[in-house]
Amino acid sequence: MRQIGFCLSALLLGSVVNAQDVLQPLVVTGQREVESDGNVDLEEIDAERVGELLGYLPGFAAVASDSAGFGDTLAVRGTANTLFFGGAGVAMVVDDVPYGDVYTYSTEFFDLESFTLHRGPQGSRFARNGAGGLIEMTTLGTTDTAEYGFSAEYGSYESLNLRFRASGPINDRWSYTFQSYYKKRDGYIENTNPAVGGNNDDREQMGALGSLYYNPSADLEVRFRAMYEATRDGSQRLTSLNSPDPFEVQSDLPGETEVDRFQLSLHVDQDLGWANFKSISSYQNWQLGPSIVDLDLSPFSGADSDIDQEQKLWSQEFRLESDDSESLRWTAGLAYLRKDTDGVADRFFFLPGNPMFGIPAGTFFSDQSTIFASEEQSVALFGNVQWDASDRVTFEVGGRLEYVESSLERSKVESGNAGAFGFQSYQPILSEADGWYFSPTLGINFELDDETSLFARTSTSFKPEGFTAFSDNPATTSYDEELAWETEVGLRYENSAQTLGFELRGYYKRIDDYQLNSSVQPTDFIILNAGRVDSYGVEGELVWRPSDALTVQVAAGWNQVEFNDYTDLSGNDFSGNNVPFIPQFTAGLTARYDFECGFYAQTGVRAVGSTYFDGSNNSNFKQKAYEVWDAQIGYQAENWNAAIFARNVFDEEYYSFMNNQIAAGAPGDPQVVGVRLGLEF
């Protein structure tokens, strides 16, 4: 088969191998003690959402449409997701529980023990297929004694952030963890339409996560886990790109976005002596609706959209893992995933008549309703082996074999008030597809001495073929699989005193049949396959501790992700253009100084390079490079802490997302100043 042949030829051509995960991957931790191996401290960068890590993680890109995650894009080294349909380019796993499509990902952090970005294809190591990379989060676990924590934050725009956590034993066999958060703020965007007025983009979110642990013996642990999150937002943060003030709009609709996310999982961890067995069973229900957006952003009833959508996700993983202390370490697993998605998209358009363009005289309106149901099932075998051939050399080999089948049922009805724009029922679409995919990995790590090591890796990945429901033409409903081959080499150094560490990586990736989102009208989107995309870049991270009081961390990445072969539906050749949604460089710096008296001062700056938001690289839909500074000063005692903070200190204006079909964008967060108080007991 074509994808298997592609994988094998890629490995034959690129016989270099890596130990990106023989080495520690980049870890963003929630602890104050930070290892000098490329880690970043969540507290230092003051991040509460995945998108806020943009700039601090080289090779990572995040585009936030400010719609509770719906329509967001995440990418690693050029591999990304499309907006509403298609596979994830960057997978997400929290406490071993996989998420489905990117728009269902949690946008807010719970209190974390660790946040790990695994770069490169991760199909051989995880139940979830990570084509470009994988985000792995571990929330805080149970404690030997009862512990409680509470924090409260208040700031600009009447923002409020409350968090609570508790953990500890119930008896000698049972223990628990629980944490929750509640966040709200007034909107950033002022609606100057007197008929509506106010700030329509108010935000309100809450979440709760609880786990119950049962340990009947020293070699067995059973965990029952439940999570719920709710978003009750106002309008999507969209304003006209032609507006002199990006924080003003004249919409006739206040807008609304509601999302509910519910997750249940059962974890069994059994020590068999010769290996460790894990079983993770999970179910997630994600619901969007209503999601009401004013598409023309005017005081008139010109165009609007209302989407209700639901995704149900079932997964089952069985995994065997060897002892990490052995010279031969291995992982083998079997994973099943089923994803059912149902949706209704209602759109309304109101236009003045123009006979020259075939629109009858007078006025014209159109009500469109699209109803769809899609299903995807996959079964995967995955495995990874690491072998210490000597004290200095470690080899890695792994692979993933996966079968995927998908289907789509879609219908659309349109009604209007004049001539040809009257009632119309579109041809129902029923499509099915299936395929086998194989993605191997090879790697090597060579220690030059006790402080310096070289590593290399080559691997292939896939995103399966599928369907989009937002297309009226059956010929453009389907898209082909995306296949990639990535090779990286790198150098890692950490001195014996652990006061200085850095890592430098270079990579090249070829992506065939790149899955690309394309708009055919303001509310209809299809997925095209660009013939070929080339991605290459350099990434570096450094941690420096000149004293016990001062920690400095620097991260930077430069990449070139461009179309080698791409012609759009209109016949325009965009070969040589930059792939949209991928900044050309990112950089971040954090510094923290802890005074002996308990006070501390810290600052962070992240820089994001120029980013295009369409394949034609139109300068009207390009965000120029920008920098965002954050800072705080505080006091840390044994059981309490307090801080004064400022985010976006210099009130930098930029867009985190642009829509070229309606010439609108989502402006980034403005300056926010506040205070925080935390208690631990």
Q: Where are the beta strands (DSSP E) in 448-499?
A: 452-463, 466-467, 478-479, 482-494
Give the residue among 565, 614, 645, 655 at the shortest CA–CA distance from 153.
645
- Residue of 15 and 510 predicted with greater confidence: 510
pLDDT > 70? residue 66: yes
pLDDT > 90? residue 221: yes
Question: Does residue 290 have a cis bond before it (omega within 30 degrees)?
Answer: yes
CA dihedral angle for residue 88, residue 234, residue 49, residue 313, rounded to 10 degrees: -40
Measured between alpha carbons, how far is 87 from 104 in angstroms, rounded to an integer? 12
Other Cβ atoms less than 10 A from the Cβ of 579: the count is 26
Q: What is the pLDDT of residue 522?
A: 59
Q: What is the pLDDT of residue 152?
A: 97
Percent of the chain clearing pLDDT 70 (strictly above): 90
- What does the mean pLDDT of the chain come to? 89
- Residue of 230 and 301 predicted with greater confidence: 230
Cα 127 from chain centroid (whole Å): 17
Band of the pLDDT at 424, cuts 50, 70, 90?
A: low
Q: What is the pLDDT of residue 219?
A: 96
Minimum mean pLDDT among 208-212, 303-307, 505-509: which range? 303-307
Q: What's the whole-number mean pLDDT along residues 150-159?
A: 96
pLDDT > 80? residue 51: yes
Give the residue among 524, 510, 605, 613 at the shortest CA–CA distance from 569.
524
pLDDT > 60? residue 91: yes
pLDDT > 60? residue 266: yes
Q: What's the whole-number mean pLDDT along residues 219-230?
A: 98
* Alpha-helix runs per DSSP H in 525-611: none
pLDDT > 90? residue 427: no
Measured between alpha carbons, how far is 7 from 400 in angstroms, rounded to an integer? 11
Strand 40-41 with 26-29, pairing:
parallel
Domain boundaries along the sequence of the chain: 2-680
pLDDT > 90? residue 122: yes
Q: What is the pLDDT of residue 13?
A: 38
Maximum separation of any 2 CA atoms in the chain, in Å: 82
Q: What is the pLDDT of residue 495?
A: 93
- Residue of 39 and 510 predicted with greater confidence: 510
Q: Are 84 and 67 contacting, i.e. CB atoms less than 8 angstroms apart?
A: no
Band of the pLDDT at 377, cuts 50, 70, 90?
A: very high
Percent of the chain clearing pLDDT 90 (strictly above): 74
Count of residues in the chain = 681
Q: What is the pLDDT of residue 422?
A: 54
Measured between alpha carbons, how far is 393 from 391 in angstroms, rounded to an integer? 6
CB burial string 479-502: b at 16+ within 10 A, e below = bbbbbbbbbbbbebbbeeeeeebb
Written as six digits, the tokens of 510 are 């070829």
Q: What is the pLDDT of residue 354?
A: 54
Measured between alpha carbons, how far is 236 from 294 in angstroms, rounded to an integer? 9
Measured between alpha carbons, how far is 111 from 148 in angstroms, rounded to an integer? 12
The secondary element (H helix, E strand) that includes residue 2 is helix 2-13
Band of the pLDDT at 355, cuts 50, 70, 90?
A: low
Q: Are 210 and 248 contacting, i.e. CB atoms less than 8 angstroms apart?
A: no
Burial of 265 (0-12, 13-18, 19+ CB in 10 A): buried
Convert the pLDDT of each residue in 574-630 to its tens digit: 999 999 999 999 999 999 999 999 999 999 999 999 999 999 999 999 999 999 999
Q: What is the pLDDT of residue 213?
A: 98
Q: What is the pLDDT of residue 283?
A: 98
Q: What's the whole-number mean pLDDT along residues 457-463?
A: 96
Measured between alpha carbons, how far is 611 from 591 in angstroms, rounded to an integer? 27
pLDDT > 80? residue 547: yes
Give the residue among 301, 266, 263 at the shortest CA–CA distance from 283.
263
Q: What is the pLDDT of residue 114?
A: 86
- CA separation (Å) from 558 to 270, 457, 540, 568? 43, 19, 9, 27
Minimum mean pLDDT among 47-51, 374-378, 572-576: which range? 47-51
- Residue of 354 and 573 predicted with greater confidence: 573
pLDDT > 70? residue 362: no
Band of the pLDDT at 5, cuts 50, 70, 90?
A: very low
Measured between alpha carbons, how far is 257 from 199 in angstroms, rounded to an integer? 14
Q: What is the pLDDT of residue 301?
A: 81
Q: Are 494 and 513 contacting, i.e. CB atoms less than 8 angstroms apart?
A: no
pLDDT > 80? residue 43: no
- The vertex-426 CA angle with 420 and 432, nearest 5°, equals 160
Strand 599-608 with 90-94, pairing:
unpaired
Q: What's domain 2-680's superfamily in CATH? A: TonB-dependent receptor, beta-barrel domain (2.40.170.20)
Give the SS3 label for residue 474. helix
Give the residue among 485, 608, 464 at the shortest CA–CA distance from 81.
464
- The vertex-179 CA angle with 341 and 261, nearest 5°, equals 10
- CA separation (Å) from 358 to 117, 326, 441, 524, 527? 53, 74, 56, 21, 29
Residues 6+ apart with CB under 8 A from 30: 42, 43, 111, 112, 113, 114, 115, 140
269 φ/ψ angles, rounded to the nearest 5 degrees: -125, 110
Band of the pLDDT at 351, cuts 50, 70, 90?
A: low
3-state SS, one letter per residue, for 121-188: CCCCCCCCCCCCEEEEEEECCCCCCCEEEEEEEEECCCEEEEEEEEEEECCCCEEEEEEEEEEEECCC
Q: Where are the beta strands (DSSP E) in 495-648?
A: 500-521, 524-544, 550-565, 585-594, 599-608, 611-612, 622-623, 626-636, 640-647
